[in-house]
Amino acid sequence: MHSPLFSSFKSGSLLERVEQKLSRFLPHSTLCVGLSGGLDSVVLLHLLATLRHSQLFVLRALHVHHGLSPNADAWAQFAMDCAANLGVKCAVERVSLAPFLKQGTEGAARTARYAAFARQDCDVILLAQHCDDQAETVLLNLLRGSGLRGLAAMPEYRSLNQKMGILRPLLGVARAELAAYAAEQGLIWVEDESNHNPRYDRNFLRNDVFPRLNAVWPSANNTLARVARHVAEADELLLEVACSDFAVCVQDNVFDLSVDFSPLRLRNVLRYWLVQNGLQLDARAFEELIRTAVSSAADAQPVLIWRKSAVRRYRQKLYITLAEIELIEPVMLPWQPEINLKSGCLSWREAEVGIALEILKGADFELRPRVGGECLRLFVGGARKALKQLYQDAGVPPWLRQNIPLVYLNGELAAVPGLGVDAAFCTSGQVVVPYWRPSLGGID
Ligand SMILES: Nc1ncnc2c1ncn2[C@@H]1O[C@H](COP(=O)(O)OP(=O)(O)OP(=O)(O)O)[C@@H](O)[C@H]1O
């Protein structure tokens, strides 16, 4: 048997410890307790109602009515009565799970609940998860094969949106201590009948696995919660490294593989770039990306399709595009200079080309798609070069070339976004700064 060396984070009374967790929000904040009506949140509300006498803050409660259980109305009524007994205003929000049912019942309830939290007019939502919940979450995520983010389990504080956050002031407190407090204060609460349903993985861990673990390792819960804190720190550090590496290797959302990172740092910043673009690749797809897009021959043009997106490599750069790139219509687009003239530049959606204003005045404009065989002379006195050659020289990926509109003035190719303006259309002394930002599927 292992001795419970770190069996408790206790120092000071429960009330003092909760007060200390609140210190960053005091005074003058509006705190809203997520009140399910169960033991944990009833204790939390009671603690806060007690603290309110010595500290300045506005206290509210919110019960989210999921409409799942036949007892849901009774729970909502209980939550309102419980809050009223403590002199706290409690709102009840009915939510619909229908839009989220793909996530399963539990997941849908959770998403709808957090959406309801985010709608509250307060500075912080207080939730009553405790140390045992944290331990269950760590073990559950470990068994599901989560990465660091999952093993870090629940953070004590995180922002929910721009104006409010979620605080879990009881995360270092054992369930048994909350039960003892409730008994001491004569509190009553409701039991969620689903807590005993072994169908739910968490309940199986709570009711069957943890009692056995605790019989051998009495401090297992604290230890697992401590592991979560270590992992959270490591995860935070990786995020910091990813952010600074991102600044070095990503420009205009194009990932430059030529930057010399160790393989692990490359994986870290690559994952970060993908997530920034809303691509949460699963482990298999991520390895596939490393294998094909990162490690294949230099002249290959590998593509990894993920749902509606694609990660494409051209030379040493990775691009995120739509899986199916739609080509612009092969028709001539009429140009409307009075609308599109912007600070001395022609602009069309994301493409901008610097052409002298005096040349633009009175000219006939057209945007045409590339048909092949076009040439451009980029420097006065220089050679005319094929567009294909110029694109290759500039490293413009092939899938984008078809979608870059060519600018014609009076029927002649005058400029190509990203490449430049034909010498015949540049006035002397004018600095031409062609601008083109590759975006999803090209210029769109
Ligand atoms: N119906 C509800 N209305 C308001 N708050 C709730 C409700 N259900 C849960 N909460 C709040 O969330 C806390 C955690 O609840 P519970 O453990 O049931 O949810 P969970 O799904 O495990 O949460 P999470 O996914 O955030 O870990 C509760 O202690 C309570 O503060």
Residue 132 belongs to domain with CATH number: 3.40.50.620
247 in any annotated domain: no
Return the residue whose CA atom lies nearest to atom 18 of ligand 1: 36
Residue 153: pLDDT band by 50, 70, 90 thresholds?
A: very high
Collapsed DSSP state (helix, strand, coil) of residue 19? helix
Instruction: Please check whether residue 350 lies inside any domain of the structure.
Output: yes
The answer to whether the beta carbons of residues 346 and 330 sit under 8 Å apart is no
Residue 298 tokens read as 């230099």
* 127 inside domain: yes
Same domain, 154 and 215: yes
pLDDT range class, residue 100, cuts 50, 70, 90: very high
Residues 202 and 283 in one domain: no
Domain count within the chain: 3
Which residue puts its alpha carbon closest to atom 28 of ligand 1?
A: 128
Q: Same domain for 295 and 338?
A: no
SS3 429: coil
Same domain, 172 and 292: no
Structure confidence at residue 112 (pLDDT): 97
Looking at the DSSP bridge assignments, the partners of residue 420 are 416
Residue 328 lies in a domain: no
State which of 32, 35, 36 you would mutate to test the pocket of ligand 1, scoring each by most atoms of that ligand within 8 A of its C-beta: 36
Does the beta carbon of 134 lie inside 6 Å of ligand 1? Answer: no
Bridge partners of 58, per DSSP, are: 30
Q: By the 8 A CB rule, do 398 and 439 touch?
A: no
Q: How far apart are the C-alpha atoms of 185 and 85, rounded to whole Å? A: 13
Q: Are 213 and 71 in a shared domain?
A: yes
128 CA to middle of ligand 1, Å? 7
pLDDT at residue 66, rounded to an integer: 94
* Residue where one domain finishes, among candidates 197, 230, 263: 230
Residue of the CA atom closest to atom 17 of ligand 1? 129
Distance of CA 64 from the midpoint of ligand 1 (Å) = 9
- What's the CA-to-centroid distance between 54 and ligand 1, angstroms? 27
**Is the CB–ligand 1 distance for residue 112 below 6 Å?**
no
For residue 300, what are its two tokens? Answer: 């290959």
Residue 159 lies inside a defined structural domain of this protein? yes
Binding site membership of 400 for ligand 1 (Cβ less than 6 Å) = no
Range of the domain at 109: 14-230
Are residues 188 and 143 located together in one domain of the fold? yes
CA gap 442, 216 in Å, rounded: 60
Pairwise CA distance, residues 423 & 421, whole Å = 6
Higher-pLDDT residue of 363, 332: 363
Regarding the beta carbon of 64 and ligand 1, being less than 6 Å apart is answered yes
* Annotated binding-site members: 36-41
> Binning pLDDT at 50, 70 and 90, where does residue 44 land?
very high
- Residue 100 and residue 159 share a domain: yes
Nearest CA to ligand 1 atom 11: 34
pLDDT tens-digit readout, 192-212: 777 666 667 888 999 999 999
* Average pLDDT of the chain to the nearest whole number: 85
The answer to whether residue 139 scores a pLDDT higher than 50 is yes
Q: What is the pLDDT of residue 349?
A: 41
Q: In this model, does residue 421 exceed pLDDT 90?
A: no
Given pLDDT bands bounded at 50, 70 and 90, which one contains residue 438? Answer: very low
Q: How far apart are CA 295 and CA 348, in angstroms?
A: 36
Residues 224, 135: contact at Cβ < 8 Å? yes
User: Does ligand 1 have an atom closer than 6 angstroms to the CB of 40?
Assistant: yes
* Residue 199 is assigned to a structural domain of this protein: yes
- Inter-residue contact 218 to 7 (CB < 8 Å): yes
Q: Does residue 141 share a domain with residue 25?
A: yes
372 alpha carbon – ligand 1 mean position (Å): 61
CA distance 120 to 184: 32
**289 within domain boundaries:** yes
The CB of 110 under 6 Å from ligand 1? The reply is yes
Q: Rounded to an integer, what distance in angstroms lies between the CA atom of residue 394 and that of residue 159?
A: 43
Ligand 1 touching residue 80 (CB < 6 A): no
pLDDT given at position 427: 57
201 and 290 inside one domain: no
Helix, strand, coil in percent for the chain, rounding step 5: 40, 20, 40
Please say if the pLDDT value at position 240 is more than 80: yes
Residue 121 has pLDDT above 90, yes or no: yes
Q: Write the residue with the smallest CA distance to atom 2 of ligand 1.
A: 36
**193 Cα to the center of ligand 1, angstroms:** 14
Residues 303 and 400 in one domain: no
Please give the Cα distance from 256 to 248 (Å, whole number): 9
Q: Which of 267, 288, 322 is the last residue of a domain?
A: 322
ipTM over 0.95: no
Pocket flag, ligand 1, residue 168 (CB < 6 Å): no
For residue 254, what are the β-bridge partners?
A: 251
257 and 378 part of one domain: no
Task: Identify whether residues 125 and 264 lie together within a single domain.
Answer: no
- Kindly give the number of the ligand 1 atom that is closest to the alpha carbon of 38: 29
